[in-house]
Amino acid sequence: MYLGIDLGTSAVKACVMDASGAVVASASAGLTVQHPFDGASEQDCADWWAATCAAIGGIAPELRGQVRALGLSGQMHGAVVLDADHRPIRPVILWNDARAEAECAAMLDAEPEAGRIGGVPPMPGFTAPKILWLSRHEPAAHARIAHVLLPKDYIGLRLHGTLVTDPTDASGSAWYDSGARCWSAALCKASATDPAWLPEVRHGSEIGGLLRAAVAKELGLPASIPVAVGAGDAAAGAVGIGAVADGDGFLSLGTSGQLFVTTGAHRPNLERRIHAYAHTVPGQWFQMAAMLNGARPLAWLAGLLNRPIVELLAEAQSAAPGPLFLPYLTGERTPHGDSDIRAGFALLGETTTHGSLMRAVVEAVAFSFADAMAALEATGTRPEALLAIGGGTRSDLVVQTIADVIGCRIGRSEAADVGPALGAARLACLAEGGVDPAQVMTKPEVRHWFTPSPGAAEALAPRLAAYRALYPALAGVQAMLRAGVRA
C-alpha cells in the first residue's frame, strides 16, 4: 500500500493506493482559516499536523500497517517561517493572502526581470513577497528566520526531519529560476531573503527522508519507510491524473481553481499572468492559469444562505438566467493579477431567488475558466480535451457549464475528488523504486465525458461579455471608495 497526504486549505486528505494503482481507502480532517485583518489569510502549523494525524488515523489500521511509502502534496505558496530549532515563528501566511501588494512592486523595482526569472511576475500570494513584508512589518519575526518551507514540506519535516522541497513548490515561491531549475540569488536579494534559509530541491518522486520511528508509532505506520518529497497540489494533481507529457491538461476545482497544461519547454506569458513553472517530474514544465476562488464561491453562497449546496445547485439547474456574479472573494490572479478586487452581484431584482443566485455563481466559475482558456490560447496553447479533478467537479451542472463556455470536452473519473492525494501516493510508489514511471502515472478511466452543448456557447456569449465588463466597473467603484471620492 502507498499513502498519499494532501494538505489542502479546508482539509487534509489521505488516500491509500494499492500496488495496482487503485484507491482502496481515503479519509480527511477539516481545517479552518484565520483572517486577522481584511485581506489576510493564515493557518497554524500545529493545526496542520493535528489534521494530518487525524486524516491518517481515519485509515483502517490493517491498511496503515501495509504502507510501504508515503508521498506529500499541499497548498502552494504559503510562508512557513522556522527558527533554528525548526519551530514555527508565527502563523503561516497563505496563498490567498493579499497583504504583500506593495512588496511585489518593490521586488520588480529591485529586479525588473523577476517575472521572466520566476515564470510569472511576483504576486501577493507568493512566498517571497511575504518575507519582504515580514522584514518591513514584523522585523523581530524576520530576524529570527533560519528556514523557510512550503506547506507540504513542513509536514515532511515532521515526518522525516529533512528540509527539502520539489520544483513545483520552489517555482511557486518567486525565488526559483523555473527555466534553469535553481534558486535565484537575484530574487532572494530583492525579497530580503537569505538563500541559506531555502530547502534543497529534489524531484517529487525522490526520497525526502525516512519515517521517524516515534512518528511511525504515533501514526500506526511502519518505521523507516521512505517519504517521497511530493509536489505542490497542482503538480500532484497532474501526477494523479497522468498529465505528465507535453500537451496533457486538466482543470482543478477546489477552494481555488487551475487550468493546467504540461509543456516540454518553459513558456511564460507575463502579461496574462500565466504561471510557467517547473514540473515535479524531470524534464517537463507546465503552464497554469490560477484562479484564487475556484469552487469556493459555491460553498460561500451556500453558507451565507444556510442551505445545502446540493439543493441550491438543483434549483440553479432550472433557474432562468438572471443576476450576474463576479467571483473574486479574495482577489484574482489569472488574468487580472489584482489582489484588491472583491466579489459582487449585479442585476438583482424582485424575482431573484436562491436558485438564480446560485446559477449566477455557477456561471461565474465557468466564466473564470473562459478567461483562463483565453490566457492560455494567447500563448499558443489549446488543449483538445481536459480531465477534471477537485471536489467542485462532482457537480454535473458546474462541469457541463464550464465545457459549454470554454468549448472543450472535459472528462471526469471516479477518483476525480481525490486528485492531489492520489498523485502523492503515486509519487510514494515511485520513491520506493523498482517500477516504471509510465506504468504508475497513467490516465484514469473516464466515466463521463462532458461535451460542449450545441449553441450553448453562443447563448452564453452575451452573459460572458457582461461578466467581463463587471470587473473594470467594480474595480473603478472600489478605487473611488479607497480614494474617498464623492460623486
Q: Which three cell numbers stand for residue 174?
A: 518567486
DSSP 393: G
Burial (CB count <10 Å: 0-12, 13-18, 19+), residue 265: exposed
Contact of 231 with 174, CB cutoff 8 Å: no
| Residues involved in catalysis | 233
Q: What is the pTM of this model?
A: 0.85
Q: How far apart are CA 326 and CA 466, in angstroms?
A: 10
Residue by residue, DSSP assigns 282-333 as: TT-EEEEEEES-TTHHHHHHHHHHTS-HHHHHHHHHHPPS--EEE--BTBB-
Rounded Cα distance between 261 and 63, Å, is 34
b/e for 465-484, b at 16 or more Cβ within 10 A? Answer: eebeebbeebbeeeeeeeee
What pLDDT score does 483 carry?
85
Round to whole Å and give the CA distance between 81 and 137: 15
| CA 481 to the chain's CA centroid | 31
User: In this structure, how many other beta carbons lie within 10 angstroms of the beta carbon of residue 485?
Assistant: 9
The pLDDT profile of the chain, 487 residues, written as one tens digit per residue, is 999 999 999 999 999 999 999 999 999 999 999 999 988 999 999 999 999 999 999 999 999 999 999 999 999 999 999 999 999 999 999 999 999 999 999 999 999 999 999 999 999 999 999 999 999 999 999 999 999 999 999 999 999 999 999 999 999 999 999 999 999 999 999 999 999 999 999 999 999 999 999 999 999 999 999 999 999 998 999 999 899 999 899 998 988 899 999 999 888 888 878 889 999 999 999 999 989 899 999 999 999 999 999 999 999 999 999 999 999 998 898 888 888 899 999 999 999 999 999 999 999 999 999 999 999 998 888 888 999 988 899 999 999 999 999 999 999 987 666 679 999 999 999 999 889 998 999 988 899 999 999 999 999 999 999 999 999 999 999 989 988 866 5
Which DSSP letter does residue 251 get?
Answer: E
Length of the chain (residues): 487
CA dist., res. 347 & res. 176, Å (int): 44
Instruction: Give how far the C-alpha of residue 189 lies from the chain's centroid of Cα atoms, to the nearest Å.
Output: 26
> Residue for cell digits 459555491?
298
What is the β-pairing status of strands 249-253 and 231-232? unpaired
Grid cell for residue 222: 511502519
The distance of Cα 324 from the centroid of its chain, to the nearest Å, equals 26
What is the predicted pLDDT for the residue at 487? Answer: 53
Give the sign of the dihedral formed by CA 231, CA 236, CA 240, CA 241.
negative
User: How is the chain split among helix, strand and coil, in percent rounded to 5?
Assistant: 40, 20, 40
